[in-house]
Amino acid sequence: ASKSTLPYHVRADSHQHLVAQKLFRIAEQKKSNLIISADFSDTDSLLQCADELGPYIAVFKTHVDIVHDFGEKTVVGLKKLAAKHNFLIFEDRKFVDIGSTVQKQYHGGALRISEWADIVNVSPLGGWGVVEALEQVISNETSPYRDERAVLLLAEMTTAGSLATGKYTQKCIEIAKQRGGAVIGFVATEALGTAEPDLTTTAKEDFLIFTTGVNICQSGNILGQQYQTPEAAVRGGSDFIIAGRGIYTSENRVETAKQYQREGWNAYEARIAS
Ligand code: BMP
């Protein structure tokens, strides 16, 4: 699978999506391709993590449906900290339903995701309609967030026995290429062969690879989660590495985050030099 060997700033300059441009620039400024997966069940813990690790990450990934006291304080706090530390917010919602339902889950509802998440992901298990549905909401002329919202397709999963392989993954690539501009990339374990070797000719399909299941110390857990190291992930084509428990359950999460940041960044520098 081909992977991009271009520096983030080159990809920022040529990318047509504002969120991808912003993300590449943040990565370059902070020398970080690290995303923390902040799977906390209360607002205070979530916000404290964002404030402590904010300086070392490019993106803060949430699962707000596990936050028992989710509300105004969560939304305002996340937005404030994103501005303070210059990171984007990715709600790992994995929309998987018919388009009409997904529109209601994304926009409004209990979680008001479109209001605060720069990035969301979707599984096109039910076909392209769900992607179209999100794009409709995002590109609606009355939307105050037009151009500031992006979508990732869940192309692969890290778990043992995952069914998100082969034809399904290929279909994700097709959908990303065929649909409008809101899809900026994939959640995948490695490069999916979509990287363009030379963006100076066309930057139409510079899809970003976001990789979950990153852990320096462990290879997996009893519920089937499988890990790779930051170095292996980036070498394999990951543009942004996502780590949760490997960081936030460690004794000193700030030092551990810095270690993941360093390892991810060194691997990126090695890749663009190759
Ligand atoms: P951890 O690093 O603690 O194992 O957390 C992994 C995070 O990434 C979780 O939030 C999980 O929901 C998410 N994730 C994953 O582990 N594998 C996938 O294939 C897709 C995910 O979103």
What confidence tens digit (pLDDT) does each residue in 174-206 have? Answer: 999 998 789 999 999 999 988 866 665 455 689
Tokens of residue 105, six digits: 């889950």
Q: How far is the CA of 127 from the centre of ligand 1 (A)?
A: 23
Radius of gyration of the chain measured on its C-alpha atoms:
17
Number of other residues whose CB lies within 10 A of the CB of residue 114: 23
Q: How far is the CA of 94 from the centre of ligand 1 (A)?
A: 11
pLDDT band at 73, cuts 50/70/90?
Answer: very high
Interface ipTM = 0.99
Mutate to test the pocket of ligand 1, among 158, 190, 238 (most ligand atoms within 8 A of CB): 158
Q: What percent of the chain has pLDDT over 90?
A: 89
pLDDT at 200: 55
CA angle 190-194-195, nearest 5°? 85
> How many whole angstroms separate alpha carbon 176 and alpha carbon 153?
8
Residue 143 has pLDDT above 90, yes or no: no
User: Measured from the CA of 215, which atom of ligand 1 is nearest?
Assistant: 2
Catalytic residue among 31, 94, 171, 258: 94
> How many whole angstroms separate alpha carbon 185 and alpha carbon 183?
6
pTM: 0.97
pLDDT at 234: 98
pLDDT at 197: 65
What's the pLDDT tens digit per position in 35-59? Answer: 999 999 999 999 999 999 999 999 9
Number of other residues whose CB lies within 10 A of the CB of residue 206: 24
pLDDT at 104: 97
> How many whole angstroms separate alpha carbon 208 and alpha carbon 192?
10
Mean pLDDT throughout 20-33? Answer: 98
Residue 2 has pLDDT above 80, yes or no: no
Chain mean pLDDT for the chain: 95
User: Measured from the CA of 94, which atom of ligand 1 is nearest?
Assistant: 22
pLDDT at 146: 85
Least trusted range by pLDDT, from 1-5, 187-191, 232-236, 253-257: 1-5
Least trusted range by pLDDT, from 46-60, 94-108, 138-152, 191-205: 191-205
Mutate to test the pocket of ligand 1, among 242, 248, 260 (most ligand atoms within 8 A of CB): 242
pLDDT at 198: 63
